[in-house]
Amino acid sequence: MTTAAQPEEISEKVDLWLRMYRQMLAIRLFENQVNELYTRALMPGLAHLYLGEEAVAVGVCEALHRTDYITSTHRGHGHCLAKGASPDRTAGKRSWVLQGQGRLHAHCRPGDR
C-alpha cells in the first residue's frame, strides 16, 4: 500500500527539480555562448560542446558530496559547471583552471561549489 506524499515532501522535490532544471539551463546557455564564440573565431582552440547532455552532468553531480572529486572527458565543462564551478573559471578567465589560455578542457576540485 502506498501513502500520499506530504505537502512538505512535495515541496522539497519541486525545489530539487527546479534547482536541477535551472542548472541544466545554465549549462545550456553557457554552451550556446561557447558555440557562438567558437563559430565567430573569437575563441582559440577547439570547442567540444556538451549540448544535449546537460541532464547527465546535473544528475550525476547531484548525487555527489561537495568534497568529491570528478573527472571527465574532453566534454567535461558540463560536469564542471554542474559541480559548481563558475562559468568565468570554466571559460578560461585568469584562474587556476585554465590560466587564461581560453581552452575549455575544464577541471574541478573540491570546494569549487
How high is the mean pLDDT of the chain?
A: 80
Q: What percent of the chain has pLDDT over 90?
A: 38
**Where residue 58 falls among pLDDT bands split at 50, 70, 90?**
very high
pLDDT in tens, 12-28: 999 999 999 999 999 99
Condensed to tens digits (0 to 9), the pLDDT of residues 65-94 reads 988 888 888 888 898 899 888 877 666 554
DSSP code string of 26-81:
HHHHHHHHHHHHHHTT-S-S-----TT-HHHHHHHHHTS-TT------TTTHHHHH
